[in-house]
Amino acid sequence: MIIVNLDVMLAKRKMSLTELSERVGLTMANLSVLKTGKAKAVRFSTLDALCRVLACQPGDILEFTEEV
């Protein structure tokens, strides 16, 4: 299972979802789907933009864990 740690990165950067939305160029709705883990896929261009704005690596946002 892939876990999206977008909320963790936002907290570390002291950034709101609204600010991230404006800086990345994605809608609040799309970021919310990603943040809640309901997204079925993520484009590399989206991941690239998130990493650029949050100054992080893809592994800081996405985490793999075994399903229990």
Q: Which amino acid is at 64?
A: F
Reduce the DSSP state of residue 27 to 3 states and report it: coil
Kindly tell me if the per-residue pLDDT of 68 is higher than 90. Answer: no
Which tens digits make up the pLDDT trace of 6-62?
999 999 999 999 999 999 999 999 999 999 989 999 999 999 999 999 999 999 999
- CA 56, CA 40: separation in Å to the nearest integer? 22
Name the pTM for this structure. Answer: 0.90
Angle between the N-to-C axes of helices 17-24 and 44-54, in degrees from 0 to 180, rounded to the nearest 10: 120
